[in-house]
Chains A and B, each alone.
Chain A
Amino acid sequence: MSTNVRTRRERGAIAARRPWSRDRVETLILTILRWVVIAGILLVTLFPFYYMIILSVRPISSLLQDPGSLWVSASEFSLDTYTSVLQNPSEGGQGFLIFMRNSALVAVGTVFATLLLAIPGSYAISRLDFFGRRKVSALFLAVYLFPSILLAIPLFVFFTRIGLRGELLGLLLVYVAQVVPVSIYMLRNYFETIPISLEEAASIDGANRFTIMRRISLPLAMPAIVSNGLYIFMIAWNEFLFALLFLVESRQNWTVSLGLSQLAGSIEVPTTVLMAGSVILTLPIIIIFFAAERLLTEGLTAGAEKG
């Protein structure tokens, strides 16, 4: 840091000695602006999350007394909000532990089901020459871009009729169908970076198609598969619209997102308790994101590039 300050001071000294050229003025202004922008960005992106954490450990009475406070004093700090939000409704809580179980079940189920479909699918699209490959790719791209509200109506009607509305399984199926195309795009891009000569070599050694997939391509694509799995987990964990459409009437099946949004409308549950719920909802995503940041940012651009 100190070298930075020195160079800026030096630059300032030089600029003071020489006449003010446009280049010098611009450089000086932009150097200052740059730090202003960086500070501004950090403030804007992180402040809401800081506020979330602060509110989640304060009792509601202290929030109403002093809404502008930016820290928690030791006397008002309490984790009661967390026990209250996690406990079962029968014990006077909001039942977020059950919601977390539901979210985890749906999200993990979606990840495995999607990968089970997407790995062979993307391999086929990147490696095998079959009739209609081009059309399948175009179809998936279109699916990726189309509004989910368009699907909401018929799926709502359809699942009501067959009695799967209100079931986690129905939600899982819809998630898989929505995510598989994106997943195939991301994995396909990765498969195409693996040299085909490796597979040809295995083929000459007598390996059949299945063995090649399992022994050569799959291990090589593992980093992409892992990041893809995390990405799918995040999508499924964060999803709201279909959870709202399908599960709203069966409280025992609510996901964390749905539970939070439904309780946010009621007056009985204190805001600070729901903030604890928000932290619980956000935390798994933040942990995954920071644990696999590089993998994921590459995945985000790779997946979206084609979309």
Chain B
Amino acid sequence: MSTTPRGDSAAPARDSAPVQRTRNKRSSMAKAEQRAGLTLISPTLIIVLVLIVIPILWTIMLSFQQIRLLNLRTAGVLGNYTVSNFAEVFSSPGFLEALIITLVYSVAGTGLAIGLGLVTALALRKPFRGRTFVRAATLIPYVAPIVAVTFVWTTMLNPQFGIINHWGTTFLGWEEAVPFLSERQREVSFLGITFTVPTALFTVIAFEAWRSFPFAFLFLTARLQAVPASLDEAARVDGATPTQRFRYILLPQLLPTIAVLSVLRFIWTFNSFDDIYLLTGGGAGTEVVAVRVYNFLISRGDIGAAAAQAVVLAAILAVLVGIYLKFFAKKEEVS
């Protein structure tokens, strides 16, 4: 199988590695190929190393230094290294709170987005007139510029002239306008039971679900199209009802895709900065770690503490990416 040095293009990586190591005599063509490959990839590699890899390493170094924006110009690479930033970060209640908010936001946002995406994918499964349009329209929230959509949302939710509050007070009998993005929590009575609801956090979660459900929809639709029709027909002949067909035929087919989606969306939501920064600025109990890092960097000018928090965020993420690579990426590569 792997006697030719080039291997088959469809599954090259795994085959070619041992070939390279056990090279006895390499043809000049293989050497030329080696050279060409390195030449073609090196510009990309250099820019990624300089602007991504080295900065990441630098963040780690900064997180062990007491650097502020003010003394930035005088600080050298060989400054005093200390763990005080981390001690400060872990002992401050603000960071742990931000971490919990980030987790709640990511889990709820991911779950809602995938649930909504699944419902949409199922509803648009059978063809109907205008389906192409509906599909394209569904994707708009995901592709539209984040600044524009957050601005529309803040305007819609505005307590003075926002349309949601206007309708709520006019038609739904709300007693007062709800400041959706600036209120930490509120008491809501439903069926005689009173709940305390974190208003702003729920609003940003709803926004996250609205913004990213199209992504889940796209993936699930692609997977649904690959499910063979014969499976569904066979179940129908056997007398399975629609919900049974979904539960026992479709869902098992979709589960791997849902798993990959969950990890991907979780990672992205976990890191996300733009949405919350633009909606609430991190106020009213919505300060996720990414926004907190930004605030430490810009408002306080405390580079060391900002870096330490970013490193902790990345470390948690690295574990998640590791899990993803171990369990999902391999499987996909094979299929």
Contacts and interface: CB of A to CB of B under 8 A. Distances in A.
B43 to A, nearest CB: 5
Interface in B48-84: 48, 50-56, 58-59, 62, 72-73
B4 to A, nearest CB: 10
Contacts of B128: 4
Contacts of B310: 147, 149-150, 152-153
Contacts of B214: 45
Given A45-B138, A45-B140, A154-B59, A282 B41 contact: no
Contacts of A130: 33-38, 41
Contacts of A121: 40-41, 43-44
B10 interface: yes
Interface string A127-156: 111110110110111110111111111111
Interface in B281-309: 290, 293-294, 297-298, 303, 306-307
A157 interface: yes
Given A128-B37, A131-B38, A278 B123 contact: no
A301 B293 contact: no
B273 A41 contact: no
B215 A278 contact: no
Which one of B56, B214, B307, B321 has the greatest number of beta carbons of chain A within 10 Å?
B56
A266 B209 CA distance: 28
> How large, as a class, is the contact surface on chain B?
35 or more
Given A38-B134, A42-B137, A129 B12 contact: yes
A45 B137 contact: yes
A188 to B, nearest CB: 11
A129 B52 contact: no
B120 to A, nearest CB: 6
Dominant secondary structure of chain A at its interface with chain B: helix
Which one of B129, B143, B215, B242 has the greatest number of beta carbons of chain A within 10 Å?
B143
B197 interface: no
B156 A51 contact: yes
Interface in B171-187: none
A151 B52 contact: yes
Contacts of A123: 40
B191 interface: no
A256 B146 CA distance: 11
Contact of B163 (A34, A51, A64, A192): A51
B161 interface: yes
Contact of B41 (A42, A125, A234, A293): A125
Interface string A53-81: 00100000001100110000000000000
A27 interface: yes
A47 B327 CA distance: 40
A264 B267 CA distance: 29
B278 A261 contact: yes
Which one of B43, B145, B215, B306 has the greatest number of beta carbons of chain A within 10 Å?
B145
Interface in B102-153: 119-120, 123-124, 126, 128-129, 134, 136-141, 143-149, 151-153
8 contacts: A147-B317, A153-B62, A154-B59, A260-B151, A264-B154, A275-B152, A304-B219, A304-B264
Q: What 4 A-B pairs have minimum CB-CB distances, sorted nearest first?
A: A130-B37, A128-B37, A147-B271, A177-B51
Interface of A: 1, 4, 22-23, 26-27, 30, 33-34, 37-38, 41-42, 44-46, 48-49, 51-52, 55, 63-64, 67-68, 117-118, 120-121, 123-131, 133-134, 136-137, 139-143, 145-158, 160-161, 173-174, 176-178, 180-181, 184, 192, 196, 209, 234, 237-238, 240-241, 245, 256-258, 260-261, 264, 271, 274-275, 278-279, 281-282, 285-286, 289-290, 293, 296-297, 300-301, 304-307
